Amino acid sequence: MEYRERLSVPASWWLIGMFFAVSSATAVGFAIAPWVSLVAGGLTAALVAVTLLGYGGVRIVVDDQGLTVGRYRLEARYLGEARAYDEAASRQRLGAGADRAAHLIVRGYIPTSVEVTIDDPADPHPYWLVSTRHPEELAAALARIGCRGE
């Protein structure tokens, strides 16, 4: 294993989500009945938790086989150059400097990213842009794997 990271949502999102659940429970309690508000609040909190865990549960793994980001896999033999981007460069690659055919695995709460070019003429995506909290480490791990995979 060369590199591993999980892109979990920030604590503030959990706070906002649970505030939403409590607000929903309170509104239902006033409109219908207190026992219904407990059920509605519990269901809303569960829905918020499942949503935040699903959205924030993306794992990035670099190993001998290649790069895995969530459910997507790029085999080592297709890895091209990996470039680490700071916040400004990431914003540029998501805006005016973006390619519409790129494969984006980005999270708005993570400002930095890594661009991985794809060395496969059959692939419709010229590169992957992946959000990461440690762009230099991820790019270095990808470079090590890419060199071995060629």
Does a structural domain hold residue 104?
yes
Residue 3 lies in a domain: no
Judgement on whether residues 28 and 41 belong to the same structural domain of the protein: yes
87-90 long-range contacts, Cβ below 8 Å, gap at least 24?
A: 87/111, 87/112, 90/129, 90/131
Together in a domain, 52 and 37: yes
Tell me the CATH number at 77: 2.30.29
- Among residues 56, 40, 39, 49, the alpha carbon closest in space to that of 15 is found at 49
Question: Residue 46 falls within a domain, yes or no?
Answer: yes
Note down pLDDT in tens along the chain; length 150 residues: 789 999 999 999 999 999 998 888 888 777 787 788 888 888 999 999 999 998 888 999 999 999 999 999 999 999 999 999 999 999 999 998 889 999 999 999 999 999 999 999 899 999 999 999 999 999 999 988 875 333
Do residues 122 and 59 make contact, with C-beta atoms less than 8 angstroms apart?
no
Residue at 19 is within a domain: yes
Q: How many domains does the chain have?
A: 2
With b meaning 16 or more CB within 10 Å and e meaning fewer, what string describes 66-105? bbbbeeeebebebbbebbbbeeebbeebbeeeeeeeebeb
Angle between helices 34-56 and 11-31 (to 10 degrees): 160
Give residue 48's domain range.
Answer: 8-56
Same domain, yes or no: 68 and 48: no
Q: Report the pLDDT value the prediction gives residue 62, as an integer from 0 to 100.
A: 96
Residues 87 and 139 in one domain: yes
The answer to whether residues 145 and 133 belong to one domain is yes
The answer as to whether 1 is a domain residue is no
pTM: 0.81
pLDDT digits (tens, 9 = 90+) for 70-105: 999 999 999 999 999 999 999 999 998 889 999 999
